[in-house]
Structure 1
Amino acid sequence: MAKSIWPQSDQTQALLAAARQGDTDAINQLLDRHRAPVRRLVQMRLDRRVQQRVDVSDVVQDVMFEANGRLQAYLENPAMAFHLWLRQIAWDHMIDTYRRHRKSAKRDMDREQPLALGGTSDHSTIELAAQLCDPEITPQAAAVQRELAEQVERTIDSLDEPDREIILMRHYEHLSNQEVAEALQLTPPAASMRYLRAMRRLRELMQSSESSSADDAAES
């Protein structure tokens, strides 16, 4: 599986230790090295319709500002890994942003928009497609890969929210099962079971879509 969007944990831990000692430079470095991952998260997960009305940089700035204000409390009582704590702040801001803009955004859109995964996740989508399809027959042509990637993303978007969420966390944010369990407040076995069910449902929908396409082609 691809590398997590978040910085390496050992470097983060060193900066957290220095920050607990009152090292201002360590605090600045800690927040600065997580700014780009927060931006990527917001770009991936904030509704595309809302992104047409809201500058992603403004959302990121609000997230980092709040994180800076709450950092001391976190350092005194780190209830979860730092990147998961920061992810939760970002998630809360994305929900708030969506709620404030969803009505006006929907009025401007004539149809549903696909997942806001964008070009940064093309490789993640292809990796996921390879897991869903037989690698012996998965075509390598770029045009076919793009078509398959679009089909995967459309199918993910049609999943129920719990299934959709855990697949995005595992395959686009590249969180481990342990991290997903911590973020969703589940036990690791429960998180693993939810993920397996979601992947089974995604595979079933992909196969159903492929069968429908084959039937349509045969009739035409």
Structure 2
Amino acid sequence: MNSHQAQLSSSHSPIELLKRVRKGQPQQLGALLEIYRNYLYLLADSQLDRKLRARSSPSDIVQDTMLEAHRDFHQFRGGSEGEFIRWLRQILVNNLSRSIQMHVLAEKRDIRREVPLEQLHASFERSTVRLRAVFDGREESPSSNASRRERAVLLADIMRRLPPDHRNVLLLRNMQGLRFDEVATQMERSVPAAKMLWIRAIKQLRTRLNQRETG
């Protein structure tokens, strides 16, 4: 994102940017899309295991998603931020599915059995619910108030700026829903150490969130 886009995304709300694009200012579409880059990255990152990351990174998948959203923006018919987020997530799901299919094909397995889009949609929804739950301290149903989706975008921005270990433990525990023994195995730590790291990560996340909201 260039400095002009950064200034736009910080000084205008997503809905205002959306309206400006539709009123004939397409140059502001880049600033609108950049607002959701961290959110899309965390969702993609939560779906890729270590083996798949060796072939396709979350950054690559998100970049493809941003380019396609820019190209196909004329197809978006919604008017709210929640609708725009869902539209972006649909593009991300499709790109992630293609990436997984390429990986599965390389392993010579049956892609029809292993990459159902419905499963990816459900997994994305669970990740979004869990990401919001970091803020609220509880999980919600997928049909909860759509305004909470915007909180997930805010949390994603903050999480991307956390130290890598803190971000990873939140990703594994809160977005992937792993047990602490599974988190410990993934991070090559003891279970008590993984729990302590998670507690510190939650504390730092909430501190930064409070600073963001009061600042």
TM-score for the superposition, normalised by structure 2: 0.46
TM-score for the superposition, normalised by structure 1: 0.45
Q: Rg: which structure is higher?
A: 1
